[in-house]
């Protein structure tokens, strides 16, 4: 029996945030009905072709999945409901406080969604406006309380630090406020200025007041301390949870397990193949309706590709790489490939090797991208 994760992409947004480079589109809500019909057709076709599977994690991401109408939510949930799911499936959905209400939350709960991820990013109103968010902190607070009232017992809150003009004290204040609300999970990401975003265009024109590397490092370190104080354990570079509330779906990515992606611009990883769907919504809908392939790219990973990805993804986790798992997958020992790289970073105290595991130290996590580049074969 093949255990799979399912990722479902909803590409619609009310407004594109200034830092966002995800495949999401504002002002295309008129295509929502056609898109959901095509998406359901892709789900049916995809799983008809897979023998003996069980889905143990589902993640509906975007875009802004909570922008869907209640009617379209029901159509999508009914289609997902027909799939073979484990009894303890983790069923997550991303939400934006500016597009959620009690009726939508009740619909999600009724159809089995048991984990929601709410994008907040920061609690300060001036910063929310400056990054293009469509909600206030009060909107978030009301959404969070409403979700608790409806019965959601597993909530993640997304935060971003090192925002333009953000001070260390403002980030610490955000964390203190959010931690006191007691979500089960907090994702705390450092801002990356991506090409094609509003922030990138401003940065190119020297019109973006970026935080210095020293302040960014302080935010990361101080953030870890505050989160630990409130009982949140770090289990991945940017992710923290209360005991037993780690995101199982994201762990599939970091553990190099298999998942199927459906919807425009979604990605799959199955049978050592990486498959990416077409990004353009209109083209995606047309291809699905015409029974054409909606793939944009299919890459068959070589063994070296799989080894590199196993290292990159595994070293993101606090627990790091399991050496026995590496040997089982690739019939090679870590030292056969990486002996010199590992020794180099052990000597500099960026890596630790202990009890069959290889993992980054706290200071290693601060330069993880540099270290991971050395694991290219």
Q: Which CATH superfamily is domain 2-254 in?
A: Aldolase class I (3.20.20.70)
Residue 234 · residue 188 · CB < 8 Å: no
Domain boundaries, the chain: 2-254, 319-373
pLDDT band for position 134 (50/70/90)?
confident
Per-residue model confidence as pLDDT tens digits over 36-91: 999 999 999 999 989 899 999 999 999 899 999 999 999 999 999 999 999 999 99
| Average pLDDT rounded to a whole number, residues 353-365 | 96
Mean pLDDT calculated for residue range 23-41: 85
The pLDDT of residue 98 is: 81
On average, the pLDDT of the chain sits at 95
d(CA 18, CA 177): 24
**Higher pLDDT among residues 198 and 85, named by residue:** 85
Other CB atoms within 10 A of residue 34 CB = 16
% of the chain residues with pLDDT over 70: 98
pLDDT in tens, 252-267: 999 999 999 999 999 9
Summarize pLDDT for 289-334 with one digit per residue, the tens.
Answer: 999 999 999 999 999 999 999 999 999 999 999 999 999 999 999 9
CB 98 within 8 A of CB 128: no
Q: How many DSSP H helices and E strands does the chain contain?
A: 15, 17
In this predicted structure, the answer to whether residue 244 has a pLDDT above a threshold of 70 is yes
Q: Say which residue, 101 or 20, is predicted with more confidence.
A: 101
Mean pLDDT, range 170-186, rounded to an integer: 98
The count of other CB atoms within 10 Å of the CB of residue 52 is 7
Would you call 308 exposed, middle or buried from its count of C-beta atoms within 10 A (0-12, 13-18, 19+)? middle
**For 199-236, what is each residue's pLDDT tens digit?**
889 878 888 888 999 999 999 999 999 999 999 999 99
The 3-class SS string of 45-106 reads HHHHCCCCEEEEEEEEEECCHHHCCHHHHHHHHHHHHCCCEEEEEEEEEEECHHHCCHHHHH
Confidence of residue 20 (pLDDT cuts 50, 70, 90): confident
For the cut 70, the answer to whether the pLDDT of residue 27 exceeds it is: no
pLDDT band at 30 (very low <50, low <70, confident <90, very high): confident
Q: State residue 180's pLDDT score.
A: 98
Q: Which helix (H) or strand (E) holds 358?
A: strand 357-360
């Amino acid at each position: 029996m093949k255990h799979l994760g399912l990722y479902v992409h909803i590409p619609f947004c009310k407004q594109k945030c200034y830092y966002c480079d995800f495949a999401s589109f504002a002002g295309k809500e008129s295509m929502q009905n056609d898109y959901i019909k095509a998406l359901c057709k892709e789900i049916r076709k995809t799983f008809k072709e897979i023998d003996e599977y069980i889905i143990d994690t589902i993640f509906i991401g975007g875009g802004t999945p909570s922008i869907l109408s209640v009617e379209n939510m029901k159509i999508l949930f009914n289609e997902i409901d027909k799939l073979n799911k484990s009894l303890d499936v983790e069923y997550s959905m991303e939400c934006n406080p500016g597009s959620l209400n009690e009726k939508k939350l009740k619909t999600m709960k009724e159809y089995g969604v048991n984990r929601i991820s709410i994008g907040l990013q920061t609690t300060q109103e001036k910063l929310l406006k400056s990054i293009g968010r469509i909600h206030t902190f009060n909107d978030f607070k009301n959404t969070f309380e409403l979700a608790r009232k409806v019965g959601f017992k597993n909530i993640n809150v997304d935060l971003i630090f090192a925002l333009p003009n953000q001070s260390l004290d403002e980030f610490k204040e955000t964390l203190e406020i959010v931690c006191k609300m007691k979500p089960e999970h907090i994702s705390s990401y450092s801002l990356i200025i991506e090409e094609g975003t509003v922030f990138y265009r401003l940065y190119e024109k020297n019109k973006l007041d970026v935080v210095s590397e020293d302040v960014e490092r302080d935010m990361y370190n101080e953030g870890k301390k505050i989160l630990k104080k409130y009982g949140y354990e770090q289990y991945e570079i940017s992710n923290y949870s209360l005991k037993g509330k780690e995101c199982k779906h994201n762990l599939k990515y970091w553990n190099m397990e298999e998942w199927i992606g459906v919807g425009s611009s979604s990605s799959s990883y199955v049978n050592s193949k990486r498959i990416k769907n077409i990004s353009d919504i209109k083209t995606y809908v047309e291809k699905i309706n015409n029974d054409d392939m909606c793939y944009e790219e299919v890459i068959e990973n070589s063994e070296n590709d799989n080894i590199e990805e196993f290292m990159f993804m595994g070293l993101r986790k606090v627990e790091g790489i399991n050496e026995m798992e590496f040997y089982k997958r690739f019939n090679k020992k870590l030292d056969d490939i990486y002996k010199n790289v590992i020794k180099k970073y052990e000597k500099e105290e960026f890596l630790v090797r202990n009890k069959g595991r290889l993992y980054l130290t706290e200071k290693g996590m601060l330069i993880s991208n540099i270290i991971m580049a050395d694991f290219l074969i």
